[in-house]
Structure 1
């Protein structure tokens, strides 16, 4: 338990440095990564907007109109998701896998898998957050119509905050990894 608390304290104190490294990572992006981020953000935003009827359409319907905060959450989630996707794109054909000379990609380590999961979970939570509470089949089956309005609708802003935090954390971790990759711990064995 104490080890977890120490890790948590260390993570909190290292966030300013992490954000600075993420900003440096973002400045190293090539036009290819910027275009990819924009295209993915646009496609993801249109798909999420159509499915949740934030973009009015004839395919999907929404029984309860959207609230004011649905639109910023929708747009921020699309932008973060596009940028997160672009961190997986190689900067150029001659650059190293991370797009920065002299660095290595996060690869298959725990942090890379965690950031990928955070991004995916954030996108799914954003869909639940900005969607119509009674049009969501899972909420409707689990809670019924009145339960979805009474119990699920008030939770949607919390889901939105969690979705943005998870996607934002995943993005910052990936951007930081383009500049500074953590080294694996080396186990020192004593020889007797």
Structure 2
């Protein structure tokens, strides 16, 4: 591996199976966020306040980062299941923050009950870009940690990894 960023080195080791999982998870994430927030109009969900210009890039980045993050949990065939493996909740929190960030401020029942219609527009709407930034940052941080962990503790025999490769992985 080598001369690039450690995160990119980890991505270079991915098989087609992982990349396919990342692509599918990104599409599902985009739909799970865009449909209920009515970024994409449907007969089921409506929106009183138009989608902001920055919500579309937030949706795209959130979807890509979520897809990559979910793909880090995909095991290759023939590799043993890691002991003590847990799902990192920071990624879920990042996705949830992005969901609230791109949604209509007065369509969010929590904001509406807590602040009322005028309060949701006056207090919640201005906070939404910060929620978006926090959500994206949390997803990126979690993905970086997962990918660095993939390089630090590769499983012998996984995706072409040999026991000798384990000794050469940078800390």
Instruction: Look up the match of 2:78.
Output: 94
Instruction: Look up the match of 1:143.
Output: 115
User: Offset of 1:94 from its aligned partner?
Assistant: 3.1
Structure 2 gap segments, 5+ residues each: 154-171
Mapped to 1, the partners of 2:132 and 2:84 lie a distance apart of: 29
Per-residue deviation, residues 66-106 of structure 1 (Å, max 9, x unmatched): 1110000011111111110000001x213465xxxxxxx58
Are 1:39 and 2:44 matched, yes or no?
no
Mapped to 2, the partners of 1:117 and 1:86 lie a distance apart of: 15
Mapped to 1, the partners of 2:118 and 2:143 lie a distance apart of: 37
Mapped to 1, the partners of 2:32 and 2:131 lie a distance apart of: 19
Instruction: Look up the match of 1:133.
Output: 105
Are 1:73 and 2:58 matched, yes or no?
yes
Instruction: Look up the match of 1:63.
Output: 48
Mapped to 2, the partners of 1:74 and 1:29 lie a distance apart of: 24
Question: Residues 79 and 88 of structure 1: is their aligned pair in 2 closer, same or farther, counting only changes over 3 Å?
Answer: same
Question: Residues 75 and 39 of structure 1: is their aligned pair in 2 closer, same or farther, counting only changes over 3 Å?
Answer: same
- Which deviates the most, 22-31 or 153-162? 22-31
Instruction: Please tell me whether the aligned partners of residues 118 and 170 of structure 1 are also in contact (alpha carbons under 8 angstroms).
Output: yes
Per-residue deviation, residues 23-58 of structure 1 (Å, max 9, x unmatched): 111111110000000001101111211011111111
Per-residue deviation, residues 116-170 of structure 1 (Å, max 9, x unmatched): 1210100000010000000000000000000000000000000000000000101
CA RMSD of aligned residues (A): 1.7
SS at match of 2:56: helix
Mapped to 1, the partners of 2:15 and 2:72 lie a distance apart of: 11
Q: How many residues align?
A: 150
Instruction: Please tell me whether the aligned partners of residues 76 and 164 of structure 1 are also in contact (alpha carbons under 8 angstroms).
Output: yes
Mapped to 1, the partners of 2:83 and 2:57 lie a distance apart of: 30
TM-score with structure 2 setting the length? 0.83
Instruction: Look up the match of 1:172.
Output: 144
Are 1:49 and 2:21 matched, yes or no?
no
1:11-26 equivalent positions in 2, closer than 5 A:
20-26=5-11
Mapped to 2, the partners of 1:25 and 1:77 lie a distance apart of: 20
Instruction: Look up the match of 2:161.
Output: none
Extract structure 1 runs of 4+ deviating beyond 6 A: none
Structure 1 gap segments, 5+ residues each: 1-18, 98-104, 182-192
User: Offset of 1:20 from its aligned partner?
Assistant: 2.1
